């Protein structure tokens, strides 16, 4: 088989790691692919940096169109990021009949339907293992390894920055703000950490996994997204007392009336393996009807872990180049004409359990007033802690865990409880999943 020529767009952290690993393991990669995979061109606006990394082993250009329009390039690797120029370049590469490998989860979550449709028309492949979970082969597992299963649910820690922050808050008893500054100092959080701490990055990845797992189009706008910036060290401590840990989870569940698609802080029983995933590591649970529950764990980011996934995609494309397009693995696991437009459930229809924390005035009958509101809405209490007031204070703290209930009932209960004269301030609500 003739050598495969690759053009790389962007040689930052992941691009540099891809170039390094491809060069270091060239012989092993060729043996697996059945052909030589050569990095022939690199495009990056920072020419000096690109030349430092590449040397004389590839053509370096500041114009990405030199790569996507070059007839000698077989595969374009897009590692620019974002949804602006990256989208234009990917679609142009596809229009030119080139296969594409990308790590760009935002691009796929927002524009994947358009990109995959364009690729299907041109009989080219779009591979994106590195878009979710860094070096964890989660896309291949969902798309191929679990293909015999009806996927029931997916739940994952899929953002290392937020997981590092929550781990540090628990271990050190530190505040969210202090740990965020430490994460930025260590390079785990960006100067603008919004996408990580507000759950947007995790939602991009969840939307991709849900599309593959359930055979539905990408639907980022339908996902519920809530981050960790409002969590307090008190909530993390109380969760521990009750036998739980708080993680930012991406959750996709198949229900009778539709798909739950949500990202939010979640209490998980401390005995679960996923509850003990710490630091910047990622972990994803998938429940299939035949295989049961499986777990995938590893580095969710970093130069070489992500490069591992990028190069695995290059090898996959190389292997499939001789295959009839109709017999290639579909982009979203299901044949394009077999995707179902299953509705995404509104958050108010989601059924789960809840952690509720509130401050109340220390008076007789307070608890009875609160439990009456919950009972009227069909919400039952699973566990409760009451913290007595400190000396000189007139307010106590109550923490409750509920059994399964519907979110809209909890919303109504919170509104009614906060209106009681015996309640001081706002309630804290964190969702709870048993994951069993």
Confidence of residue 329 (pLDDT cuts 50, 70, 90): confident
Q: Give the Cα separation of 44 and 81 in Å (integer).
A: 12
Confidence of residue 298 (pLDDT cuts 50, 70, 90): very high
Instruction: Tell me, yes or no, whether 26 and 90 share the same domain.
Output: yes
Query: Does pLDDT of 335 surpass 90?
Result: no
Query: Does pLDDT of 286 surpass 90?
Result: yes
Confidence of residue 419 (pLDDT cuts 50, 70, 90): very high
* Structural domain ending residue among the three candidates 338, 359, 392: 338
Instruction: Tell me, yes or no, whether 148 and 207 share the same domain.
Output: yes
The whole domain housing 214 covers 138-299
Instruction: Tell me, yes or no, whether 311 and 365 share the same domain.
Output: no
Q: Does residue 217 lie in a domain region?
A: yes
Instruction: Tell me, yes or no, whether 368 and 257 share the same domain.
Output: no
Q: Which residues of 384-396 are buried (b: 16+ CB within 10 A; e: fewer)?
A: eeeeeeeeeeebb
Instruction: Among 147-156, 236-245, 298-307, 390-399, name the one with the lowest average pLDDT.
Output: 390-399
Q: Does residue 410 lie in a domain region?
A: yes
pLDDT of residue 327: 64
Cα 381–Cα 385–Cα 386 angle in degrees, nearest 5: 115
DSSP 366-428: HHHHHHHHHHHTT--EEEEEEEPPPTT--EEEEEEEE-SEEHHHHHHHHHHHHTSTTEEEEEE
Confidence of residue 320 (pLDDT cuts 50, 70, 90): confident
Instruction: Tell me, yes or no, whether 107 and 206 share the same domain.
Output: no
Instruction: Tell me, yes or no, whether 90 and 205 share the same domain.
Output: no
pTM score, two decimals? 0.92
Q: Does residue 397 lie in a domain region?
A: yes
Q: What is the CATH number of the domain that holds 404?
A: 3.30.70.260
Instruction: Please tell me what DSSP assigns to residue 300.
Output: -
Q: What is the CATH number of the domain that holds 315?
A: 3.40.50.720
Instruction: Tell me, yes or no, whether 169 and 223 share the same domain.
Output: yes
Instruction: Tell me, yes or no, whether 199 and 217 share the same domain.
Output: yes
Average pLDDT of the chain, as a whole number: 94
Confidence of residue 110 (pLDDT cuts 50, 70, 90): very high
Q: Does residue 108 lie in a domain region?
A: yes
Instruction: Tell me, yes or no, whether 285 and 142 share the same domain.
Output: yes
- Rounded alpha-carbon distances, angstroms, from residue 70 to 9, 12, 96: 13, 22, 9
Q: How many domains would you assign to the chain?
A: 3
Instruction: Tell me, yes or no, whether 288 and 313 share the same domain.
Output: no
Tell me the β-bridge partners of 249. Answer: 264
Query: Does pLDDT of 132 surpass 80?
Result: yes
Q: Which of 98, 140, 205, 287 is catalytic?
A: 205
Q: Does residue 78 lie in a domain region?
A: yes
Residue 369: closest CA among 410, 427, 413: 413
Q: Does residue 320 lie in a domain region?
A: yes
Instruction: Tell me, yes or no, whether 174 and 54 share the same domain.
Output: no
Which tens digits make up the pLDDT trace of 225-246? 999 999 999 999 999 999 999 9
Q: Does residue 343 lie in a domain region?
A: no
pLDDT of residue 8: 97
Report whether 386 contacts 397 (CB < 8 A): yes
Instruction: Tell me, yes or no, whether 87 and 150 share the same domain.
Output: no
pLDDT of residue 34: 87
Confidence of residue 334 (pLDDT cuts 50, 70, 90): confident
Q: Give the Cα separation of 68 and 285 in Å (integer).
A: 37
pLDDT of residue 322: 66
Q: Does residue 82 lie in a domain region?
A: yes
Q: How far apart are the first and last CA of the chain?
A: 48
Whether 98 is catalytic: no
Which tens digits make up the pLDDT trace of 357-411? 999 998 888 999 999 999 999 999 999 998 888 777 889 999 999 999 999 999 9
Tell me the percentage of the chain whose pLDDT exceeds 70. 98
């Amino acid at each position: 088989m003739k050598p495969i020529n690759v053009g790389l767009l962007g040689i930052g952290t992941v691009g540099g790691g891809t170039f390094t690993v491809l060069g270091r393991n060239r012989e092993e990669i060729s043996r697996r692919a059945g052909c030589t995979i050569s990095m022939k061109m690199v495009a990056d606006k920072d020419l000096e940096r690109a030349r430092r990394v590449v040397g004389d082993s590839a053509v370096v250009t500041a114009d990405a169109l030199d790569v996507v329009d070059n007839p000698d390039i077989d595969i374009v690797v897009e590692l620019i990021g974002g949804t602006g120029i990256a989208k234009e370049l990917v679609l142009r590469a596809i229009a030119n009949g080139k296969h594409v490998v990308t790590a760009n989860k935002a691009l796929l979550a927002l524009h994947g339907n358009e990109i995959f449709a364009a690729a299907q028309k041109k009989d080219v492949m779009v591979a994106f293992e590195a878009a979710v979970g860094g070096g964890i082969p989660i896309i291949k597992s969902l798309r191929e390894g679990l293909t015999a299963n009806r996927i029931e649910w997916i739940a994952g820690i899929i953002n290392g920055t937020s997981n590092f922050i929550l781990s540090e808050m628990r271990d050190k008893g530190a505040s969210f703000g202090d740990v965020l500054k430490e994460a930025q100092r260590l390079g785990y959080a960006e100067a603008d950490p919004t996408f990580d701490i507000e759950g947007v990055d995790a939602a991009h990845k969840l939307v991709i996994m849900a599309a593959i797992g359930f055979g539905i189009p990408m639907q980022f706008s339908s996902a519920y997204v809530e981050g960790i910036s409002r969590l307090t060290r008190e909530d993390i401590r109380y969760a521990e007392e009750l036998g739980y840990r708080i993680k930012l989870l991406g959750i996709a569940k198949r229900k009778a009336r539709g798909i739950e698609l949500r990202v939010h802080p979640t209490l998980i029983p401390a005995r679960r393996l996923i509850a003990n995933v710490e630091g910047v590591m990622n972990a994803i649970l998938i429940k299939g009807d035949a295989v049961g529950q499986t777990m995938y764990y590893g580095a969710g980011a970093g130069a070489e872990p992500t490069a591992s996934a990028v190069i695995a995609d290059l090898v996959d494309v190389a292997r499939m180049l001789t295959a009839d397009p109709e017999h290639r693995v579909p982009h979203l696991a299901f044949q394009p004409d077999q995707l179902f437009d299953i509705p995404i459930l509104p958050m108010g229809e989601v059924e789960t359990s809840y952690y509720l924390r509130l401050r109340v005035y220390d008076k007789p009958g307070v608890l009875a007033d609160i439990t009456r509101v919950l009972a009227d809405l069909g919400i039952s209490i699973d566990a409760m802690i009451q913290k007595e007031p400190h000396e000189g204070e007139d307010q106590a703290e109550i923490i409750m865990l509920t059994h399964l209930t519907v979110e809209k009932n909890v919303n109504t209960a919170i509104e009614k409880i906060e209106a009681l004269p015996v309640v001081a301030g706002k309630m804290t609500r964190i969702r709870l999943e048993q994951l069993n």
